[in-house]
Structure 1
Amino acid sequence: MKQLFLAFYRKLEETDMRFERYLKSQIDWNNRLTAITGARGTGKTTMLLQHIKELYGNNPEDVLFVSLDNIYFSTNKLYSLADDFYSLGGKELYLDEVHKYPTWAQEIKNIYDDFPKLKMVFTGSSMLQIFKADADLSRRVRHFQLFGLSFREFLIFEGLLRKSQTPFLLEEILENHVSIAQKLIREITPLPAFQKYLQYGYYPYYQEDIAGYGERVLQTFNTVMESDLPNVENIDFYSINRIKKLFYILSEMVPFTPNISQLSQMVDVTRTSLMNYLQLLEKSHSVLLLRQKATGIRQMVKPEKIYLQNTNYSYALSAENPEIGNLRETFFFNQLQQNHKVTYTKQTDFCVDGKYYFEIGGKNKTTKQIKELDNAFLALDGLTTGFRNEIPLWIFGFLY
């Protein structure tokens, strides 16, 4: 255990506190059991370490952070570690990458039940089925999901926007977007920064190497498919290769209105397998599936449209500049899906929360398509400020 503490202290020493993700302030860290899931590379590990460092400094004795892919667990059980830690007066246990540990769910449940004064926080893949694991954690755990950087966070990360700038509610933007934009443009020049965000601003690690960022994004996708996916799903190598093939086919066609039979033939799988693969790509935060408004079993029908999960994927996979209409729609869908229900509608590009209608386009797009609809808006690229129901696209990046 000594080596685990020493490694933990080194990580705390190296943790940068200058920028914090939006989710850190939303989590109730007093919960006895907290789960944080999200795509690889979004900053889950850093967020945990920042929280610990902020409260306890660089060498707390009754707090321990450990990654479950540590070689220590090749010969030691998680439950045994918790038992020893608790016996030494341990109060808070932070577990990273739990999907790398086969019996994580059962042992975390046992730790929760047997050590009532021990608080636990754990992180895992966005594909982690917390509520469908072998052990019943649903009654015990509070679950939070971390998405990639919003445009607002990107601006703060770049030093272009003050840290105190908080997100806006969707209703605030719809009602007051003109005054909001006027205040923001006193501090920022949004349009040039917005183009950079679309290209490389979604994953925080972009700052380490912008030139090689696109290649790293694709490497991250491959790691998720080849490492994280088998740790979460019972899946073979053949299926993983088919899922990767599907992803690359979709990347050349988005936004794609799927013909499932045709797509099944292209990937060389059955229709049922294809639908399962699409759901896995969605869970892994690799694609966005735009569905009709539905509940229960109807949600399992084919999506009406398929998008890549974020615009950075589009640039990483495109030999040339991606199609601008696709980028605009992907950005809007990506930023809204964090806190809102985005569904398909025949009248416009998107319906949000079942009551707001949005058409996405460039600054010269007219209101002709939405003039007969109530609660309908244009989200327009290339605008610094808007007018009435014409709203700058970039401002939807301030929702989280």
Structure 2
Amino acid sequence: MDILIRTYKRRLADVNTRFHRFLFSEIDWEQPLIGIMGQRGVGKTTMMMQRIKAMDPTGEKSFYVSLDNIWFANHSLIELAENMLDRGVSHLYLDEVHRLIGWEQQVKNLYDSYPELHVVFTSSSLLEIDHSIGDLSRRVSMHTLPGLSFREFLMFERYDIPQRLDLSDVLFSHEKIAASISSVIDVLPMFRKYMEKGYYPFYKSMKTDDYYSRLVQSVSTVIEYDIPAVEKKIEYETLIKAKRLVAIVSASLPYIPNMSTLAGLMGSNRSQLLKLFDLLDRAGIIRQLFMSVGGPKALVKPQKILLDNSSLMYALGTPQIGAARESTFASFLSVSHKVGFAKDGDFMVDGRYLFEVGGKGKGFAQIRNIPDSFVVADDIEFGFSNKIPLWLFGFLY
């Protein structure tokens, strides 16, 4: 226990409170049970430590621990809670909760047995949370933390940035807003840097090659550990196919899956491919786009597949620029909006707005005369009328 306490105190002393992710101010931290899920490296641990620092500067009423610690090999959360309550702790912060066997039942027991205790937990295995949360879902206030937006990236780079924008601001006031931002920030080179490596906050502390290596390892961890944790009977050969599928998508233009061709290439069948698509999507590796944004995704062929974000694309190789642009746009919009496939353009958002994404020369030929349609162009500082710079959508969160 002394080692756990020393580790906590050291991490609390080292936490940087200069920059807070957007989700920090959106969580109702007074809720008795809070869950935060997100990909590895997006800043969940830092956000918990910042919350402790803001609420309890001395850290005496709070306690943080990562559940992958060997202490939990022969101790339970109940034992931890009893120990901490005896020390006057009222708030527990549990990192990487999915690493604890039977975590959902143990967390439920904490909630039911100690109503005076506030608990916040995180998980980097989106699949495990989705698979196991069960009855706990009625008790927990769940949140998802995505990677950095372009706005947050600029803040991370110490620029003075305005508040986040609503989609209506971007669509109908973009000329004025973009001109104002571009007058004080050289946005295009910064946006290129963001697309290449700015989605995960730890880019700041690593050389680019090391950063990309860590992202590749994260993909391997999802496939080799997270997927088998929820699909107990999955075969090793199927996991190899999942890696091949990610490689195919990462090297493609926005990927339009032909199930017969892909099944032959992968040595698989349609149902197995759909299952892999669904698992990789839920794990935050790929993003499936459907004509309709509702319905049982695991049973329907996606019309288009993208990698989750452009940093991941650059880590896995030199991406097709068109795919990187579309991946970036989808990552911006999907945080607060429903993003679907569009027959006449690239994306249908909230079932209403049609978007065509391209370079600075992209025109309206494919979406001309369609109501509520917009061109989203890369490599332009500001647009005009219904042509909007891609980077400005990075201010939505």
* TM-score for the superposition, normalised by structure 2: 0.95
Q: Cα–Cα, structure 1 residues 135 and 176, in superposed 2: closer, same or farther, change >3 Å?
A: closer
Once the two structures are superposed, residues 50-91 of structure 1 have per-residue CA deviations (whole angstroms, 9 ceiling, x without a partner) of 11112212x422211111100100111112211332243321
> Which of 195, 203, 222 is the aligned partner of 2:220?
222
1:225-264 pair list within 5 angstroms: 225-234=223-232, 235-264=234-263
Give, in whole Å, the separation in 1 of the partners of 2:341 and 2:198: 26
Identity of aligned residues (%): 42
Secondary structure in 2 matching 1:275 = helix
Secondary structure in 2 matching 1:89 = coil
Matched, 1:17 2:14: no
Give the corresponding residue for 2:380. 383
Give the corresponding residue for 2:364. 367
Give, in whole Å, the separation in 2 of the partners of 1:128 and 1:94: 21
Secondary structure in 1 matching 2:388 = strand
Give the corresponding residue for 2:286. 287
Secondary structure in 2 matching 1:296 = coil
Q: Cα–Cα, structure 1 residues 368 and 38, in superposed 2: closer, same or farther, change >3 Å?
A: same
Give, in whole Å, the separation in 2 of the partners of 1:39 and 1:9: 25
Q: Cα–Cα, structure 1 residues 294 and 282, in superposed 2: closer, same or farther, change >3 Å?
A: closer
Q: Cα–Cα, structure 1 residues 298 and 4, in superposed 2: closer, same or farther, change >3 Å?
A: closer
Q: What amino acid sits opposite 1:12 in the alignment?
A: L
Q: Cα–Cα, structure 1 residues 199 and 227, in superposed 2: closer, same or farther, change >3 Å?
A: same
Once the two structures are superposed, residues 311-345 of structure 1 have per-residue CA deviations (whole angstroms, 9 ceiling, x without a partner) of 11222222xx4322212111111111111101112
Asked if the contact 1:131–1:138 (Cα under 8 Å) also holds between the matched residues in 2, the reply is no
Q: Cα–Cα, structure 1 residues 207 and 173, in superposed 2: closer, same or farther, change >3 Å?
A: same
Asked if the contact 1:98–1:122 (Cα under 8 Å) also holds between the matched residues in 2, the reply is yes
Matched, 1:27 2:12: no
Deviation at 1:239, TM superposition (A): 3.0
The runs of at least 4 aligned residues of structure 1 exceeding 6 Å deviation read none
Give, in whole Å, the separation in 1 of the partners of 2:63 and 2:145: 22
Root-mean-square deviation over aligned CA pairs: 1.8
Once the two structures are superposed, residues 367-395 of structure 1 have per-residue CA deviations (whole angstroms, 9 ceiling, x without a partner) of 23222111111111121111111111110
Deviation at 1:228, TM superposition (A): 3.4
Deviation at 1:346, TM superposition (A): 0.9
Give the corresponding residue for 1:323. 320
Give the corresponding residue for 2:142. 143
Q: Cα–Cα, structure 1 residues 135 and 90, in superposed 2: closer, same or farther, change >3 Å?
A: farther
* TM-score for the superposition, normalised by structure 1: 0.94
Q: Cα–Cα, structure 1 residues 138 and 211, in superposed 2: closer, same or farther, change >3 Å?
A: closer
Give, in whole Å, the separation in 1 of the partners of 2:36 and 2:133: 18
Once the two structures are superposed, residues 152-174 of structure 1 have per-residue CA deviations (whole angstroms, 9 ceiling, x without a partner) of 11111112x215x2110101111
Q: What amino acid sits opposite 2:40 in the alignment?
A: R
Q: What amino acid sits opposite 1:45 in the alignment?
A: T
Asked if the contact 2:325–2:358 (Cα under 8 Å) also holds between the matched residues in 1, the reply is yes
Give the corresponding residue for 1:44. 44
Asked if the contact 1:362–1:380 (Cα under 8 Å) also holds between the matched residues in 2, the reply is yes
Q: What amino acid sits opposite 1:32 in the alignment?
A: P
Unaligned runs of 5+ in 1: none
Q: Cα–Cα, structure 1 residues 236 and 88, in superposed 2: closer, same or farther, change >3 Å?
A: farther
Number of equivalenced pairs:
395
Q: Which moved more, 1:122-131 or 1:171-180?
A: 122-131
Once the two structures are superposed, residues 75-130 of structure 1 have per-residue CA deviations (whole angstroms, 9 ceiling, x without a partner) of 11112211332243321111000111111000111110111111100000252454
Give the corresponding residue for 1:68. 67
